[in-house]
């Protein structure tokens, strides 16, 4: 079979009614994969940025690119070069092992950027971490033995080192 | 001038060039209909029997005239009834503007009476859709809808208008008639690469689709075919873009295409696809389709180029522009040996001429008879099934836009509404619907519209008592297990026609074909002709699904009686 690549697609879209549905609907009806999707307003109030992590063979990705450009509300679509990205994702985790303080020391030694948040009423601890997807995966793996009860990830948000708007 | 949203809508439709609209009234569009009534001298409106019929009528009007079809329906069921018509237009790239009413904004999202999220429902089958949030935006949205429906690859656009917006007032300013967006231009490198491929080719084949017919580039296609001395075949959407008598014409390619067109695709060393999309009905086995050939793919929609078949050379642009640029880049060439080989094959493999064995009229003879009764100027509409394929195979089309059929979506029930639209747009030309007893039963109620509006359409019902195409597949691929396809309705088509206020006629033998068809066109009224067709008549050749030309089946010698 042909090779499968991860790819980050950044869409600059008009902030119209239902635009996220239109983009997500295109992916689902054509059988394209969405590994994560993040949408938010941008520097211009009339526009949003939708960042989708998808995967597929090069020709598959080419077809995705050509199909999203057919959507009226999509003003710009860019497959971002993976080695030239400012890429961040945020994860929240709830840990309930009973002896958090001891265990957490090892985790914070390994990942100094972890933030430990308030302890909840039932004695559990919340952890926040922001970083590239690969590091988020590593943090989760290291935290797993500490008894993860819940995880919530935001999905990736990215900017190019040299933004398309400047280029 | 302060006007209501409804008045602005109707004036904007007129400003954008609409002369005729189709639709059906209802609660959420009361204001719109009131405004339509106010402007009835400037914008005609045809009321259908069912919203689906109105959508197909707008589609038939658009396909046959090249103008934008406009359809209006109320909220809820009115809107959902349009969906099949919109999807039909989407699959075949027909410019359509659909206007739906919706409940007032303060009732939206509350499951109000006749509320439906038609924007959400139609997302996959429109080029774009809108829900109007401010009356001030309305005129601009209507203009944009016409721009989008007609620019690039054409298609349907839906505008959903909450009822309170149709009542709200704002200043009306007439916007200029819409202009098309600039067409994409093929790259110079692409043209050069294609020119080299054409120069090097020994056995080129042109495969043309709806992009040629509906961009009005038939003439450019014929000139190109002569310039590079290559045979031409068409997809079903490309039918009527090449006149049947054209010397290099091989007929339709694909599942029910001619043997020569399909063999040419397997033998060619260069395939030039123009405004065609390699659908599964053409490239059954898309990985091996035309596998010996370099493929040049010309299309205005760049997403088509890599979708089904991966073309070596892509030209994104208008068919006419690309073809004339190519003609300019290649000197006239000759492929004498190849043309001789292909045209000899064509002469030896003409579609079977004779009818079936029985006394009754054969579908082929009926289609040929229809062609002589209508002449070169006729417009033929079909429904979906065996009658459709027989018409596609046997009708000798002379002029572009004279064949209207639901090719992509395969919508049974398309025909009666589409014929109404075609006749409204072409009152001076003969219009016929070829349908089957299955398809006709779906939307025959649109016959009432033809009667009320004095539209003399001739309807040929190929009445064989079975759902013929499915029946044929059950014969070929399901060992004769005819599951639920032997419908054998008791409907008396002649009485039915008369009950609708139309004329009813019958053709039960071959001798009657000519006189009855002449009488049908002469009567000057909508006329239903019940044609008693043998249920054992199959459509051949046929390529089984998922296969290419090599697997073609030529006859039903192996007809299996009911198990």
Least confident of A29-33, B206-210, B245-249, B321-325: A29-33
| CB contacts, 8 Å: B148 with chain A | 72
Contact yes or no for B120 and A66 at CB 8 A: no
- pLDDT for residue A166 is more than 60: no
In angstroms, the Cα distances linking B437 to B48, B458, B462 are 21, 15, 6
> For B71-81, how does the pLDDT look when each residue is reduced to its tens digit (9 = 90+)?
999 999 999 99
> For A6-28, how does the pLDDT look when each residue is reduced to its tens digit (9 = 90+)?
899 999 999 998 999 999 999 99
Average pLDDT over residues B103-109: 97
pLDDT at A40: 85
* Distance separating alpha carbons of residues B316 and B494, to the nearest angstrom: 51
pLDDT at A5: 81
CA within 13 Å, CB half, B148: 23
Q: Specify the DSSP element, H or E, that contains A116.
A: strand A115-119
Length of chain B: 563
Find out whether B434 and B462 touch, Cβ atoms under 8 Å: yes
Task: Decide if B37 touches A, using CB distance below 8 A.
Answer: no
* Distance separating alpha carbons of residues B241 and B221, to the nearest angstrom: 8
**Facing A59 at nearest CB: one of B119, B123, B306:** B306
* Distance separating alpha carbons of residues B443 and B453, to the nearest angstrom: 17
> For B385-435, how does the pLDDT look when each residue is reduced to its tens digit (9 = 90+)?
999 999 999 999 999 999 999 999 999 999 999 999 999 999 999 999 999
Higher model confidence: residue B55 or residue A41? B55
* Distance separating alpha carbons of residues B234 and B240, to the nearest angstrom: 9
| CB contacts, 8 Å: A59 with chain B | 306, 310
Find out whether A142 and A107 touch, Cβ atoms under 8 Å: yes
- pLDDT for residue A125 is more than 90: no
Q: What is the DSSP letter of B125?
A: G
Q: How far is A17 from chain B (nearest CA, A)?
A: 8
Task: Decide if B306 touches A, using CB distance below 8 A.
Answer: yes
Contact yes or no for B124 and A29 at CB 8 A: yes
Which stretches within B308-385 are classed as H helix?
Answer: 319-329, 336-348, 363-374
Contact yes or no for B302 and A21 at CB 8 A: no
Residue B199 pLDDT grade (very low, low, confident, very high; cuts 50, 70, 90): very high
- pLDDT for residue A35 is more than 60: yes
- Residues whose CB is less than 8 angstroms from the CB of residue B470 and which lie 6 or more positions away in sequence, other chains included: B485
* Distance separating alpha carbons of residues A69 and A76, to the nearest angstrom: 7
Q: How far is A62 from chain B (nearest CA, A)?
A: 8
| CB contacts, 8 Å: B302 with chain A | 66, 69
Strand B156-162's sheet: what is its strand order?
Answer: B44-47, B20-23, B69-73, B96-102, B156-162, B128-131
Question: What token pair was written down for A28?
Answer: 């689902």
Task: Decide if A59 touches B, using CB distance below 8 A.
Answer: yes
* Distance separating alpha carbons of residues B383 and B401, to the nearest angstrom: 16
Please report, rounded to a whole number, the percentage of residues in chain B having pLDDT higher than 90: 90
**Interface test with chain A among B306, B310, B314, by most A beta carbons within 10 Å:** B306
| CB contacts, 8 Å: B307 with chain A | 63
Beta bridge partners of residue A68, listed in sequence order? none
**Facing A17 at nearest CB: one of B131, B302, B305:** B131
* Distance separating alpha carbons of residues B265 and B467, to the nearest angstrom: 31
Average pLDDT over residues B457-484: 95
Task: Decide if B303 touches A, using CB distance below 8 A.
Answer: yes
Q: How far is A67 from chain B (nearest CA, A)?
A: 6
Task: Decide if A63 touches B, using CB distance below 8 A.
Answer: yes
CA B467 to chain centre: 21
Find out whether B322 and B193 touch, Cβ atoms under 8 Å: no
Contact yes or no for A72 and B124 at CB 8 A: no
Residue A99 pLDDT grade (very low, low, confident, very high; cuts 50, 70, 90): low
CA-based nearest residue in chain A for residue B306 = A63
Q: Specify the DSSP element, H or E, that contains B431.
A: strand B431-436
pLDDT at A158: 83
CA-based nearest residue in chain A for residue B149 = A72
User: What phi and psi values does residue B465 have, to the nearest 5 degrees?
Assistant: 75, -5
| CB contacts, 8 Å: B120 with chain A | 18, 21
| CB contacts, 8 Å: B303 with chain A | 63, 66-67, 69-70
Angle of CA points B393, B440, B537, to nearest 5°:
45
Contact yes or no for B123 and A21 at CB 8 A: yes
Question: What token pair was written down for A115?
Answer: 């933030």
Average pLDDT over residues B350-363: 75
CA B93 to chain centre: 9
| CB contacts, 8 Å: A63 with chain B | 303, 306-307
β A85-95/A157-160 pair status: antiparallel
Beta strand extents in B49-155 (DSSP E only): 69-73, 96-102, 128-131
Active site residues of B: 51, 113-114, 163, 469
pLDDT at B556: 64
Residue A83 pLDDT grade (very low, low, confident, very high; cuts 50, 70, 90): confident
- pLDDT for residue B506 is more than 90: yes
**Interface test with chain B among A32, A72, A74, by most B beta carbons within 10 Å:** A72
- pLDDT for residue A167 is more than 50: no
How many other C-beta atoms lie within 10 A of the C-beta of residue B11? 22
In the stretch 120-139 of chain B, residues with CB closer than 8 A to chain A read 120, 123-124, 127-128, 130-131, 133
* Distance separating alpha carbons of residues B409 and B387, to the nearest angstrom: 16
Q: How far is B303 from chain A (nearest CA, A)?
A: 5
CA A77 to chain centre: 17
B112-115 long-range contacts (CB < 8 A, ≥24 apart) are B113/B27, B113/B76, B114/B26, B114/B27, B114/B28, B114/B74, B114/B75, B114/B76, B114/B77, B114/B78, B115/B75, B115/B76
How many other C-beta atoms lie within 10 A of the C-beta of residue B310? 15
Find out whether A42 and A33 touch, Cβ atoms under 8 Å: no
In the stretch 242-301 of chain B, residues with CB closer than 8 A to chain A read 301
**ipTM for the complex?**
0.88
CA-based nearest residue in chain A for residue B131 = A17
Task: Decide if A66 touches B, using CB distance below 8 A.
Answer: yes
Contact yes or no for A70 and B310 at CB 8 A: no
Q: How far is B130 from chain A (nearest CA, A)?
A: 8
Q: How far is B153 from chain A (nearest CA, A)?
A: 10
Contact yes or no for A70 and B303 at CB 8 A: yes
| CB contacts, 8 Å: A66 with chain B | 302-303, 305-306
Residue B563 pLDDT grade (very low, low, confident, very high; cuts 50, 70, 90): very low
- pLDDT for residue B201 is more than 50: yes
| CB contacts, 8 Å: A71 with chain B | 128
What's the N-to-C CA distance of chain A in angstroms? 36
> For B168-193, how does the pLDDT look when each residue is reduced to its tens digit (9 = 90+)?
999 999 999 999 999 999 999 999 99
Residue B65 pLDDT grade (very low, low, confident, very high; cuts 50, 70, 90): very high
Beta-carbon pairs below 8 A across chains A and B: 35
């Amino acid at each position: 079979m042909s090779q499968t690549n991860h790819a980050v697609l950044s869409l600059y879209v008009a902030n119209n009614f239902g635009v996220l549905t239109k983009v997500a609907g295109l992916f689902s009806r054509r059988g394209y994969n969405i590994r994560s999707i993040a949408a938010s307003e941008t520097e211009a109030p009339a526009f949003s940025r939708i960042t989708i992590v998808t995967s597929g063979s090069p020709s598959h990705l080419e077809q995705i690119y050509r199909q999203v450009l057919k959507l009226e509300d999509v003003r710009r679509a860019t497959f971002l070069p993976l080695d030239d990205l400012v890429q961040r994702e945020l994860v929240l985790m709830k840990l309930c092992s009973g002896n958090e303080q001891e265990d957490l020391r090892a985790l914070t030694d390994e990942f100094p950027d972890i933030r430990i948040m308030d302890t909840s009423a039932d004695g559990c601890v919340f952890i926040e971490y922001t970083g590239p997807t690969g590091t988020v995966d590593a943090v989760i793996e290291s935290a797993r033995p500490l008894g993860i009860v819940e995880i919530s990830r935001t999905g990736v948000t990215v900017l190019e080192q040299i933004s398309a708007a400047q280029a | 001038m302060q006007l209501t949203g409804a008045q602005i809508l109707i004036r904007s439709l007129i400003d954008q060039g609409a002369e005729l609209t189709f639709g059906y009234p209802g609660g959420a569009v009361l204001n719109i209909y009131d405004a339509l009534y106010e402007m009835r001298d400037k914008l005609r409106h045809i009321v259908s029997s069912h919203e689906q019929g109105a959508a197909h009528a707008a589609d038939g009007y658009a396909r046959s005239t090249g103008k934008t079809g406009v359809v209006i329906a109320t909220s809820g069921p009115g809107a959902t009834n349009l969906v099949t018509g919109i999807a039909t237009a989407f699959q075949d790239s027909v410019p359509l503007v659909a206007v739906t009413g919706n409940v007032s904004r303060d009732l939206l999202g509350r499951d109000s009476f006749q509320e439906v999220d038609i924007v959400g429902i139609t997302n996959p089958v429109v080029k774009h859709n809108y829900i109007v949030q401010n009356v001030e935006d309305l005129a601009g949205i209507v203009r944009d809808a016409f721009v989008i429906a007609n620019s690039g690859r054409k298609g349907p656009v839906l505008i959903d208008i909450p009822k309170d917006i149709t009542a709200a007032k704002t200043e009306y300013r007439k916007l200029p008639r819409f202009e098309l967006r600039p067409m994409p231009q093929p790259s110079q490198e692409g043209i050069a690469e294609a020119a080299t491929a054409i120069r090097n080719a020994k056995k080129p084949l042109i495969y043309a689709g709806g992009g040629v017919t509906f961009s009005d580039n038939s003439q450019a296609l014929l000139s190109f075919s002569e310039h590079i001395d290559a045979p031409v075949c068409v997809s079903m959407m490309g039918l009527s873009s090449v006149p049947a008598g054209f010397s290099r014409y091989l007929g339709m390619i694909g599942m029910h295409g001619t043997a020569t067109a399909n063999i040419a695709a397997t033998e060619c060393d260069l395939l030039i696809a123009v405004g065609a999309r390699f659908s599964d009905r053409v490239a059954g086995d898309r990985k091996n389709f035309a596998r010996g050939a370099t493929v040049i793919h010309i299309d205005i929609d760049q997403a088509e180029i890599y979708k089904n078949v991966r073309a070596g050379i892509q030209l994104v642009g208008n068919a006419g522009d690309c073809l004339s640029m190519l003609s300019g880049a290649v000197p006239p060439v000759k492929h004498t040996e190849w043309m001789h080989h292909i045209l000899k094959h064509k002469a030896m493999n003409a579609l079977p001429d004779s009818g079936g064995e029985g006394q009754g009229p054969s579908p082929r003879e009926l289609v040929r008879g229809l062609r002589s009764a209508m002449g070169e100027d006729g417009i033929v509409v079909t429904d979906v099934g065996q009658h459709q394929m027989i018409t596609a195979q046997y009708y000798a089309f002379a002029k572009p836009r004279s064949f209207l059929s639901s090719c992509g979506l395969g919508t049974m029930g398309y025909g009666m509404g589409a014929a109404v639209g075609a006749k409204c747009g072409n009152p001076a030309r003969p219009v016929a619907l070829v349908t089957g007893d299955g398809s006709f039963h779906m939307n025959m109620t649109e016959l009432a519209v033809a009667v009320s509006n004095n539209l003399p359409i001739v309807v040929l019902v190929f009445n064989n008592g079975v759902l013929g195409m499915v029946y044929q597949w059950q014969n070929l691929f399901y060992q004769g297990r005819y599951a639920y396809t032997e419908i054998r309705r008791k409907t008396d088509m002649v009485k039915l026609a008369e009950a609708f206020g139309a004329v009813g006629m019958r053709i039960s033998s071959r001798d009657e074909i000519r006189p009855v068809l002449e009488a049908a066109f002469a009567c000057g009224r909508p006329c239903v002709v019940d044609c008693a067709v043998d249920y054992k008549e199959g459509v051949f050749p046929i390529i089984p699904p998922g296969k290419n030309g090599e697997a073609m089946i030529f006859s039903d010698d192996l007809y299996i009686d009911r198990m």
